[in-house]
Amino acid sequence: MGCTLLSALWCLLIVFKLSHFLQTYYDVFSRLELLLPCVFGVCLALVSLFGHSTHVIKFANGAALLAWGGVYSKYLANRKKFIQQGHGPLPHGTWVNPPPNAMAPGDLILTSGAVATGLHESVGHAAAVVKNGGQLYALSSHMDSGCTLEPLADVLGEVKGFYILLKPTEHIDQDKSQLLTNLAQHMIKQNIAWKTQRNRGWKRLIIGLPLPDASKKRLLKLYHCTGYDWLGMFMGRVQKDRWTCIGAALELYHRAGIQTNPYGTGLLGFGTTLFDPIMPVRFLNDPAFKLVMKGSPNGISGSEPSLFRRLS
């Protein structure tokens, strides 16, 4: 009886959230949140079905199995709306590797790479586009150099794999574009100041130790602050002076007043940021952005509905 009840309640919970799981199919954790309950729910119903139970319980288990079968059939049907790109799925029709002339200030670039490979996601790195002096630049953050603002052409040329493009739903006029540029430059200065301070503090600490010079030199080489937010890879926090790649883009948008979905709220959404890193792939379902699709006029998806609305 307990197995039957648990399977049925679990199925009801999954059905209640099924629309969300199908819309976020590209997120590996979202797929696991759907598939693992299916496996365990079916197992619980089977255990109860073939156990010593009444006809009523067996009927309830049969109904639960049919419901789980319906959930899985919906999952399979939804999977056909996506294609495998790199190590994860993307919606059919996504424009892969659009040219630079399809990009504008405020755009968000998501790329494949080592992080995406490790997470089995389609994309794992992010950069926000800004304009300075008539030239497009990309703001991001790297493990070996911290926050960077580099020419867009150079950034795209270094992508090993592919990239996709998201455009903000909010209109980016000239004033907003200049604001994004000013904010990006200020973030670079903040990041440089922070890592310089950390490196100086480490150097003062090591020099003050009663150790031979050779040992001090080894310790100085042991640690060098690059300006990257390493804890941000495991927590959903966004700091004021150091970031992950997606953290830098998110901070830029928030400083510019562009509202996005809440990210990194933490385990069970309690706001702790624990075990809830901000993953670039989740921006595919953010209503603040529109995924650029093939066939959009001049590469601009202004008339293209967001992924959330298109798959609902």
Asked if 82 contacts 26 with a C-beta cutoff of 8 angstroms, the reply is yes
Evaluate if pTM is beyond 0.75: yes
Going by their DSSP bridges, the two strands 289-291 and 163-168 should be labelled as antiparallel
**Sheet architecture: strand order including 125-132:** 146-151, 135-142, 125-132, 108-111, 163-168, 289-291
Percent pLDDT > 70 in the chain is 90
- Look at 112-116, 126-130, 169-173, 244-248 and tell me which has the smallest mean pLDDT: 112-116
Q: Tell the residue number behind the tokens 């090591």, with chain if given.
A: 206
What pLDDT does 301 receive? 44
Cα–Cα distance, 197 to 31 (Å, whole number) = 42
Check whether 307 has a pLDDT greater than 80: no
What pLDDT does 143 receive? 94
Q: By C-alpha distance, which of 196, 203, 208, 198 is closest to 220? A: 203
Over residues 103-123, the mean pLDDT reads 91
Q: Higher confidence at residue 16 or residue 119?
A: 16
What pLDDT does 240 receive? 93
What pLDDT does 80 receive? 93
